[in-house]
Amino acid sequence: MKKQRHQIIFSTWLVILGFTIFTFISVKSLSQQVPSVPSIPTPSITPSLIRPMPLTVDPTIPKQIHSCMVPKADQISLINKGEKIKTIELVNQVTGPQKQTFYYLEVKTVRNDLDSTNAFFYPLITLDSKGRCKTLHLEDEIAPLSYYIPLNLARQLELKIVKQEIIDAGGKDKYQQQLIDENISGEGVLLLSPERKWVLQQLGISVPPNSIIFNKPYSRSEGSPFP
């Protein structure tokens, strides 16, 4: 009886061992048949597309619009021109209907091989009531503010801008002379947006008689479409 019990136990162990060996061989064979998944290479960052970070950002600019201050198209444009951002400042802001706020910024750039300011551009950014921002025009565009926002809001933005320009010029008389000089030294034409013409008139600045009011944006790189 005892011998028979040992035989049963031994037979059971043989069955378990055989099943284990069979399972191991089957799994190994199956793994050899399944093709290996190729590893996905880590994308490399092209140095020419690294965002040109500003050296100084106005702390009064809301963080909600930081991602819209310099869109990708502007970044590429600056890189192609060999420029980088020096400062970003808030010029003015207005709030329109439906609690939509418009921010008018001044971006100063420098050439990669120079320290002095090389150029300016003025992005207009909107922030809606849900905290979503959007850039309304690009760095290469010259555009009247009233093309993108209601005229009364554009006038509010432009009023503060022109007042600061008059201060920087040293007063109304010197600012007036600047307009005349620009008109003479250029092609005999002074381009004015509808809102700027209104602001000049409100502040008692004479508008040159041969100035042209433009209502639509045009590309800076293509030059003025006006004679």
pLDDT digits (tens, 9 = 90+) for 28-41: 454 454 444 344 34
CA distances from 168 to 27, 73, 107 (A): 81, 31, 17
Type of residue numbered 87: T
What pLDDT is recorded for position 40? 37
pLDDT digits (tens, 9 = 90+) for 97-108: 778 899 999 888
* Token representation of residue 15: 């069955």
pLDDT at 68 over 70: yes
What pLDDT is recorded for position 205? 94
Residues 6+ apart with CB under 8 A from 191: 142, 211, 212, 214, 224, 226
What pLDDT is recorded for position 79? 77
What pLDDT is recorded for position 197? 94
pLDDT category of residue 49 using cuts at 50, 70 and 90? very low
Type of residue numbered 170: G
Q: Which residue has the higher pLDDT, 170 or 20?
A: 170
What pLDDT is recorded for position 38? 42
Percent of the chain with pLDDT over 90: 25
pLDDT at 51 over 70: no
Q: Among 42-51, 101-110, 134-143, where is mean pLDDT lowest?
A: 42-51
Q: Would the pTM count as exceeding 0.85?
A: no
pLDDT category of residue 153 using cuts at 50, 70 and 90? very high
Q: Which residue has the higher pLDDT, 91 or 40?
A: 91
Q: What is the mean pLDDT of residues 103-120?
A: 77
What pLDDT is recorded for position 114? 67
CA distance 225 to 221: 11
Residues 6+ apart with CB under 8 A from 161: 91, 92, 104
What pLDDT is recorded for position 136? 87
Q: Which residue has the higher pLDDT, 32 or 149?
A: 149
pLDDT category of residue 202 using cuts at 50, 70 and 90? very high
pLDDT category of residue 204 using cuts at 50, 70 and 90? very high
pLDDT category of residue 46 using cuts at 50, 70 and 90? very low
